[in-house]
Structure 1
Amino acid sequence: MESEIQSYINHFEQTHQELQSILNSLPESALHWAPLEDDANSPAILVTHMLGAERFRIHQIVAGYDIHRDRESEFQTSTATLDDLRSTLEQVNADTKKMLLSITTADLDKIRPAARDYEQAESGRWHVLHTIEHFGIHLGHLSLTIQLHASKHQ
C-alpha cells in the first residue's frame, strides 16, 4: 500500500499531466482571452494562479520554504506565453514532488497558522487537500473558459 505522502505526489503528478495536456492543446489566441473583460480570468491567469497557490500551500506552508508569493500579480498576468506556463508547470511539478518527499506524516499533522483572514489554523494535511480541491476547481474554470473561447472563435 502506498504511503499517504506518495499518494499526494501521484495525485499532483496526474493533475499536472492533465494541465500539461490542456496547455498543449490551447491555441495561443485563447491564452489571454477572458469571457468577461473585468469579471473573469484568462487561461494564463488561471494557470499562473493555480501554480502560485500550489507553491504557497505546499512549498511554503507545509514544507516551510518561503516562496515570496505576490498573489495579486498572479491576476495581472498579461505577457506569459504558453512556453512560459509549460516551463513553470514543469518546475512546480518537480518542486512539489521534492517538497512532499521532504516532509513526514508528523508535518501533515502539525497545525499551521491561518493563511488567509477568512481561514483558521489548520493542519498541513488540510493545506495539501485544500490545494488539491483548489486545483480541481480551477481546472474546471480553465476547461469552461477554453470551451467558451472555442465557441466564440470558430
Structure 2
Amino acid sequence: MDTAIQSLRDGFKQVLAEQHDAWRQVLDGLSAEALNWSPGPEMNSLAVLVTHSLGAEEFLIATAVGEAVQRDREAEFRAEAPDATTLLRLIDESSARTAELLDRVTAEDLSAIRQPAGDRLNRRHPGIWWLLHAVEHSREHLGQALLTRQLYESRS
C-alpha cells in the first residue's frame, strides 16, 4: 500500500507542477497593467486568478490531510500585482507548500470524511474528493486566465 500512496502523491505533485508551469507561461512577459486588468465588471484579473487559485489549492489539499491553513478568501479577490515576478514567487512558494502537504497524504486520509471549519459551502467529503477538487478548481481558473490574457492582448 505504501507504494500506491507514494504513486498517488507523486502523481498529484506532477499534475500540479504542470499546472503551475502553465500559470507561469500565462504570466510570461506581462506588465503590471496586464496582470491587473479585468475584462469587465464581476470579472477577475490575472493577479486575482493566480492568487485565488493558489489559495484555494492549498486550502483544499490541507483539508484532505485534515489540516487547516490560514486563508483570506475575500482578499484573494482584491489582489493586485506590481509585476509578474511577484506572482511567479507566489507560485513557487505555494508549490513548495502544496508538495509538503501532499507528502503527508495517507491511505486513511483518502477515505476520511473532512469538513473544514468555516467552509462557506459547508462541504463534507472524503479526502480524495478534496484532492481531486484542488486539481479541477485550479485548472478551471487556469482556463479563465488563458482567456483573460487573450482578451487583454486583443483589445483595440
Using structure 1 for the length normalisation, give the TM-score.
Answer: 0.88
Work out whether residues 58 and 127 of structure 1, in 8 Å CA contact, stay in contact via their aligned partners in 2. yes
Matches of 1:126 and 1:66 in 2, distance apart?
16
Q: Percent identity?
A: 34
1:7 is the counterpart of 2:11: yes
Matches of 2:138 and 2:148 in 1, distance apart?
15
- Paired letter, 1:111: I
Using structure 2 for the length normalisation, give the TM-score.
Answer: 0.87
Instruction: Indicate the residue corresponding to 1:67 in structure 2.
Output: 69
SS at 1:3 equivalent: helix
Work out whether residues 35 and 148 of structure 1, in 8 Å CA contact, stay in contact via their aligned partners in 2. yes
The answer for unaligned runs of 5 or more in structure 2 is: none
Matches of 2:88 and 2:58 in 1, distance apart?
15
Instruction: Indicate the residue corresponding to 2:136 in structure 1.
Output: 133
Q: How many Å apart are 1:123 and its aligned residue?
A: 0.8
RMSD of Structure 2 on Structure 1 (CA): 1.9
Residue by residue over 1:116-142, the C-alpha shift from the partner in whole angstroms, topping out at 9 and shown as x without a partner, is: 444531011101101111111101100
Matches of 1:118 and 1:50 in 2, distance apart?
17
Matches of 1:34 and 1:80 in 2, distance apart?
15
Alignment of 1:133-152 (within 5 A): 133-152=136-155
Residue by residue over 1:63-96, the C-alpha shift from the partner in whole angstroms, topping out at 9 and shown as x without a partner, is: 3443211100000113453111111100111111
Work out whether residues 44 and 80 of structure 1, in 8 Å CA contact, stay in contact via their aligned partners in 2. no
Matches of 1:30 and 1:117 in 2, distance apart?
31
The answer for unaligned runs of 5 or more in structure 1 is: none
